Structure 1
């Protein structure tokens, strides 16, 4: 059944779009169109930003509500989202190929978790704190909401990554204009329904489905006070240039090519599920995953066999089936890019030890077998460029210093893992990795801790107290 929407969610109500252009949604499983939504125009973005500005500037509005009142509203929104958990997960999986078992942990659970986390934080942490002044007297340091936020969200974890931005922004008192990715727009309508049910004031949340041109228009809009973006490094650089020229605060969570350092005492057979989650989760369409696996030469063949065995064991199929571990990638273009990368790795001399083809028996859908290459040089394209698919490269190293050097020899620095039977030893190695986050014997994002990258993986941090601070600006009031 086709899911067709005819309106845009602007200013707290369903509005007629300014043009007739539409965004079709295509199933990565069947390759059929499963729905469509209006494509926002610059006029619609103008209306969304105006509604957000009006909501923020209202002297009695959202930004002026006391923390307890805002926290209550966030709790209501969390409950409204939880009541839509199953249709939300099904919508996301139907659009981007995410296995529903992953969607239940991410798209269904994380938004409500973050709303409640930040609701508790604004109740606990005072907006104003007095400091002793070195000049005598004291200073009142006040944290205020930054204003109207443009939140530009990717397709791989559309709801989770929306709420990496939306939850702290709302908690701070900001109003938000969300631009979802064109590949995943149907779930955004479920979010809008939840916003209405929760009774958030008109204009606090607005949604403008669109393509890159609409994202660029929103980033440059004079009514926007801050930009929060998750996506490719190339797009992030362009956004950073615009925000730099405008002196506009920006948070960028970008690409990655993280390394899994397997130490010589690691027990990979005891961590099969964790290895899958750290290296192949969501069909490899995850920014932080460890797609470079660094193995000691003394155990290289063993590690290669273990990783290849894992790849071959995974159930590939319909993302809506509970047993599926690897679904289709999001689009035909994405599959083409992954297959080009596989061909390029073979041409550069890498040894294919698992996968590398389209799975047998799945004639429709944008599937790629979980793929593993051995004998990979860290200077190769396969090791240096983000593929965003289920493709792993196993790279040999001589000793721990060499492993750390290889891990850090990357333009990126977002995630990473260290695998060892000795947690203290692994911790010592993790401290040396140039990355915004590192997991030990697995990788699982902690909503209470800062997340983000270094180098070409981005600017700023989301989640944790740092995530709230990103939507606040400080004011010093000097007292005598």
Structure 2
């Protein structure tokens, strides 16, 4: 592999960074404007990208609508559409390092982590390609008032997919892969702060011959996102982002009875039971909090432990998380890179100030690293004796900040873990697998891991409460892109005989 420290100097290889991908073509944005994409480490412009206008979004929606209504795409057999998914996976695998470079420079995760994570994205496309042969697209039944009956699953229609800047490619893949397999057409609204990986995906869509209008990729700010959500030509919205925006989308979608799935924020808990080794727990929690520098909705930022073990766990976390190497994400020695945006750095530092003001004890970190003059860095931070009702414990920070919360006992620990508006992810740390399962069943979240942060693309992912509506990934991830239809006939079609 090329020396990691020289990769930042490699010229970008996007063919059309200042255009948008609509109806199978690269077109200049109607307004002719571009946006600067900033390197999170150097605070300098990385490249310029198109700025999508309402006219561009209108064209993208029109292309997707026409492709769904007037092309063979929705009526192809799923195994035929799966061929395109496999081609996309193959090309994504070939360009994984390139995509990882964009991700690291735009958002700040360490390059080694970015390469590993993006290398798994092709697996998701291949997973859904495999499902094409086993999913119950049509199921024969025994109707009471007809000679033949079947329930068939058909594509929901035009999908508007909106993804945030923290992990745009993988989050888009969770939406695009099942939507394409189902026979939907898609308009992806990429984040203007980090569009590079999705521009690579658009280039791949063109290379593999995906029919015009089936996949359209634009970027833009809130106005074009709202346009996509409100447009009656769009049948379904698939959104990943904040719970605040998710509520607004649900309100608009509800008013026009369009379909939607929402993967929203989290304030996840790591519940450390009394039988578990604290040094081991601290190492696991610290390691996962380095992932994308804490900019992960599933991050285990609330650490709940018995009162009599609180101080010992705080010391262990201060040792492990406090000693994390912060710096250039292309340096192989770095464990924690910068935050993605200047405003995100300011937000996280503001939450830290609020935590101190509210009475939590700042144990380590809490500032911009003194040795780094440029880049949107925040030191790995640990708070002790955090009140579970405080801002620090209740609001999503999206940064490298851990809050240790004392519990009276195991029952109280579960109560504290559930005492939040969110319900995306949790974890229970114990050597007893039976206790782990029992506690997991009581934790109100879409995912529960054992002895660490865990997720699996082949299983459904989503949240309880204000962490979302619906599921992505796995077999469950196909259903939101389908509508079921009951067909009753006077005879049996050949394909069912």
TM-score by length of 1: 0.97
**Partner residue of 2:182 out of 172, 175, 193:** 172
How do 1:384-403 and structure 2 match up within 5 A?
384-403=394-413
Cα distance in 1, alignment partners of residues 469 and 134 from structure 2: 27
Cα distance in 2, alignment partners of residues 86 and 452 from structure 1: 28
Cα distance in 1, alignment partners of residues 389 and 95 from structure 2: 46
* Cα shift readout 1:446-473 (whole Å, capped 9, x = no counterpart): 1111110111111111011110111011
Aligned residue in 2 for 1:449: 459
* Cα shift readout 1:298-325 (whole Å, capped 9, x = no counterpart): 2111111111112112111111222221
**Partner residue of 1:312 out of 322, 325, 330:** 322
Change (3 A) 1:441 1:208: same
**Partner residue of 2:229 out of 214, 219, 222:** 219
**Partner residue of 2:310 out of 300, 303, 315:** 300
How do 1:100-179 and structure 2 match up within 5 A?
100-106=111-117, 108-133=118-143, 139-179=149-189
**Partner residue of 1:94 out of 105, 115, 123:** 105
**Partner residue of 1:346 out of 347, 356, 359:** 356
How do 1:59-458 and structure 2 match up within 5 A?
59=71, 61-106=72-117, 108-133=118-143, 139-270=149-280, 274-458=284-468
Structure 1 residue 277, shift from structure 2 partner: 4.5
Contact 1:280 1:289 in 2 (8 A): no
Structure 1 residue 296, shift from structure 2 partner: 0.7
Contact 1:266 1:419 in 2 (8 A): yes
Is 1:24 paired with 2:36? yes
Cα distance in 2, alignment partners of residues 445 and 139 from structure 1: 39
Cα distance in 1, alignment partners of residues 64 and 49 from structure 2: 22
* Cα shift readout 1:62-93 (whole Å, capped 9, x = no counterpart): 21111221111110010011111111000011
Cα distance in 2, alignment partners of residues 74 and 132 from structure 1: 34
What SS does structure 1 have at the residue aligned with 2:414?
helix
Deviates more, 1:190-199 or 1:384-393: 190-199
Cα distance in 2, alignment partners of residues 100 and 190 from structure 1: 17
Structure 1 residue 134, shift from structure 2 partner: 5.5
Unaligned runs of 5+ in 2: 1-8, 491-497
Measured on the aligned residues, the alpha-carbon RMSD in Å equals 1.5
Unaligned runs of 5+ in 1: none
* Cα shift readout 1:393-415 (whole Å, capped 9, x = no counterpart): 00000111100110010010000
Change (3 A) 1:272 1:384: closer
Aligned residue in 1 for 2:3: none
* Cα shift readout 1:405-462 (whole Å, capped 9, x = no counterpart): 1001001000011001112111111110011111011122111111101111111110
Contact 2:282 2:313 in 1 (8 A): no
Change (3 A) 1:224 1:428: same
Structure 1 residue 279, shift from structure 2 partner: 3.6
Structure 1 residue 332, shift from structure 2 partner: 0.8
Structure 1 residue 358, shift from structure 2 partner: 1.1
TM-score by length of 2: 0.93
Contact 1:28 1:328 in 2 (8 A): yes
What SS does structure 2 have at the residue aligned with 1:251?
strand
Contact 1:286 1:388 in 2 (8 A): yes
